[in-house]
Amino acid sequence: MSIVVTGATGKLGRHVVEQLLEKVPAEQITAVVRDESKAADLAGRGVKLAVADYNTPETFDGLFAAGDKVLLISGNEFDKGRPAQHKVVIEAAKAADVALLAYTSAPGSLTAALADDHRATEEILLSSGVPYALLRNGWYFENYTENLAPVLAHGAVVQAAGDGRISAASRADYAAAAVAVLTGEGHEGRTYELGGDESFGFAEYAAELSRQTGREIAYTSVPPEAFAGILTGAGLPEVFAGILAEVDVSVEKGELVVSTGDLSRLAGRPTTSLTDAVAAALKS
């Protein structure tokens, strides 16, 4: 039996593999990658590699074995029909009679278009008959903290979220939950709504940046259309900019506040705080 992680060289996937290495022998882990060279360090540590691509179904033929536990990390190619990509993995998992397929989805409360692909994938997974666990990941701190340069340069946090709040957590937090499901028992048929222990608003985020940098950083909320324009002006594809602007509308509605406590329970520890997330970003 292997624990198989798709998208293993991605930002979340690497966290998952690193944390799995702390819990199980490397030879029990299979990292599914598109580019083998990007996973040379993992192979050097004894992790098995499998080269496969969501867009090339035949590359998943025979990749899984009976009894495997699989983490399907959702793809990020928004223009290539993600549900169809994910279906490739689900069908291969079904053919192999895997023990569990965990999927990184989106919060059930999220109505933004970003959630549509996730809901469609969930329907495919549930109708497949494959033993499943739904990991409905909330927003990542890194969605904000990895792009601090313009914020610090302009002294402004600009979003389209009004006074909305968000239960963000770090990628390492979400990875810990995935690892708990992949290495534990009794998760079949479970849906986990995952988010940070404490919610925050962007005025608080700006205040925390101000406190830690000693600079005046203010939060400005703009209309969604204006926010999308700012993002495209910064080089983001128009489709993706529109998705992010719509997510901010959902934030203002409270749709990304997750109060279940599922994430910290699965991780076995409190989730990363806003203070620690900002501190880590400023050190990097």
Q: Check residue 153 and give its pLDDT.
A: 93
The arithmetic mean of pLDDT across residues 157-176, rounded, is: 98
The arithmetic mean of pLDDT across residues 165-176, rounded, is: 98
Residue 80 has pLDDT above 70, yes or no: no
Q: Which residues of 86-125 are buried (b: 16+ CB within 10 A; e: fewer)?
A: bbbbbebbbebebbbbbbbbbbbbbebebbebbebbbebb
Q: Check residue 223 and give its pLDDT.
A: 97
| Relative orientation angle of helices 114-128 and 82-96, to the nearest 10 degrees | 20
The residues pairing with 140 across neighbouring beta strands, listed in sequence order, are 169
pTM equals: 0.96
Asked if residues 175 and 64 have their Cβ atoms less than 8 Å apart, the reply is no
Residue 226 has pLDDT above 80, yes or no: yes
Rg (CA), the chain: 19
Q: Check residue 75 and give its pLDDT.
A: 87
Q: Check residue 16 and give its pLDDT.
A: 98
Q: Check residue 17 and give its pLDDT.
A: 98
Percent of the chain with pLDDT over 70: 99
Q: Which residues of 242-251 are buried (b: 16+ CB within 10 A; e: fewer)?
A: bbbbbbbbbb
The arithmetic mean of pLDDT across residues 59-83, rounded, is: 90
Percent of the chain with pLDDT over 90: 94
Q: Lowest mean pLDDT of 71-85, 86-100, 248-262, name the range.
A: 71-85
What are the pLDDT digits (tens) for 24-33? 999 999 999 9
Q: Check residue 147 and give its pLDDT.
A: 87
The arithmetic mean of pLDDT across residues 36-45, rounded, is: 95
| Relative orientation angle of helices 238-252 and 114-128, to the nearest 10 degrees | 90
